[in-house]
């Protein structure tokens, strides 16, 4: 009997993961459950302590459990809000909104710093099919389980996008020559890099930008993160940078002010300009 070969034509969907790490969410939920169990054992019964020690233990564990419970609820809400497959799809809204500002000349090359799961890199590549987008990241720390180079490549394949490539690269010291790219972009990266001056991180990014090239940086540019950004802009202008704009993305561009504050995105700004 002739054997029939069935081919599964179902297209693989991209998995851009979530900006709220699943591992972090699980740890908080697990901590809430464990702390509650300890509260029952040490404060809810007289098996271990009694009298004043039992009261003190109950207060400490009770407060701790309430804090963990509140944090778990907040993280769960944020997870659902940013989820690409959820109802709000905030992460997708932001990625596509930033990508709209990225225009690469035909035959040109763009760089996405801190590409994570490749979402912005791929979105920019789709908008600029005659150019190449390079995504770089260190893929380590708290996000190393959620994001990886392999995930980026799989997402590009799922989106049927071939004009991309992904490389290991640290925003603190990018592994690229001066003036290598026509466009540099990044989304919610630099505020997460602790122990480094954010303005210096921007200058390192601009180092690899060609003369006449454009930069599109989206981040939480609060003064506590970036210092005096207006003074920084004036210094860039003295160096020859042009068309520099700061666009508040919490003014109903991507989110509302109240939602941004609730999601810890207050100060989110799109920083664009030309070298």
Segments of the chain with pLDDT less than 50? 1-9
Q: What pairing do the DSSP bridges indicate for beta strands 164-168 and 181-187?
A: unpaired
CA 160 to chain centroid: 23
Residue 10: the pLDDT is 54
DSSP letter assigned to residue 267: T
Give the CA distances from residue 9 to residues 12, 17, 84, 101, in Å, rounded to whole numbers and listed in that order. Answer: 9, 23, 23, 34
Residue 146: the pLDDT is 82
Residue 7: the pLDDT is 42
Residue 35: the pLDDT is 96
Q: Using CB atoms within 10 A of its CB, is residue 220 exposed (0-12), middle (13-18) or buried (19+)?
A: buried
Q: What pairing do the DSSP bridges indicate for beta strands 132-137 and 164-168?
A: parallel
* CB of 158 closer than 8 Å to CB of 10: no
Beta partners for 137? 168
* CB of 82 closer than 8 Å to CB of 20: yes
Tokens 């233990």 locate to 57
Tokens 């500002």 locate to 101
CA 109 to chain centroid: 22
Q: How far apart are the C-alpha atoms of 243 and 250, rounded to whole Å? A: 21
Closest CA to 201 of 172, 243, 178: 172
Q: How far apart are the C-alpha atoms of 238 and 24, rounded to whole Å? A: 43
List of residues 6+ apart from 89 with CB closer than 8 A: 83
CB under 8 Å, gap of 24 or more: what pairs does 137-143 form?
Answer: 137/113, 137/166, 137/168, 137/169, 138/168, 138/169, 138/170, 139/168, 142/21, 142/23, 142/24, 143/21, 143/116
DSSP letter assigned to residue 231: H
Q: How far apart are the C-alpha atoms of 49 and 58, rounded to whole Å? A: 10
CA 6 to chain centroid: 40
Residue 6: the pLDDT is 40
Residue 11: the pLDDT is 61
């Amino acid at each position: 009997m002739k054997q029939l070969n069935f081919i599964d034509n179902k297209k693989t969907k991209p998995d851009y993961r979530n900006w709220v790490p699943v591992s972090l969410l699980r740890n908080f939920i697990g901590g809430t459950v464990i702390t509650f169990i300890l509260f029952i054992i040490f404060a809810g019964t007289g098996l271990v302590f009694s009298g004043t020690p039992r009261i003190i233990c109950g207060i400490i564990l009770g407060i701790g459990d309430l804090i963990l419970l509140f944090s778990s609820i907040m993280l769960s809400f944020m997870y659902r809000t940013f989820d690409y497959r959820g109802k709000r799809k905030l992460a997708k809204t932001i990625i596509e909104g930033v990508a709209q500002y990225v225009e690469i000349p035909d035959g040109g090359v763009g760089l996405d710093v801190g590409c994570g799961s490749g979402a912005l890199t791929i979105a920019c590549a789709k908008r600029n099919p005659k150019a190449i987008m390079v995504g770089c990241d260190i893929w380590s720390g708290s996000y190393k389980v959620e994001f990886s180079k392999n995930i980026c490549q799989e997402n590009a394949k799922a989106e049927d996008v071939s004009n991309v490539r992904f490389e290991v690269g640290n925003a603190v010291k990018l592994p690229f020559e001066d003036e290598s790219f026509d466009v540099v972009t990044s989304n919610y990266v630099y505020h997460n890099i602790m122990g480094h001056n954010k303005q210096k991180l921007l200058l390192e990014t601009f180092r690899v930008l060609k003369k006449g090239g454009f930069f599109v940086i989206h981040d939480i540019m609060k003064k506590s993160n970036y210092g005096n950004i207006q003074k920084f802009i004036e210094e860039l202008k003295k160096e020859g940078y042009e068309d520099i704009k700061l666009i508040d993305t919490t003014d109903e561009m991507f989110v509302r002010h109240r939602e941004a504050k609730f999601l810890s995105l207050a100060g989110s700004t799109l920083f664009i300009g030309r070298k």
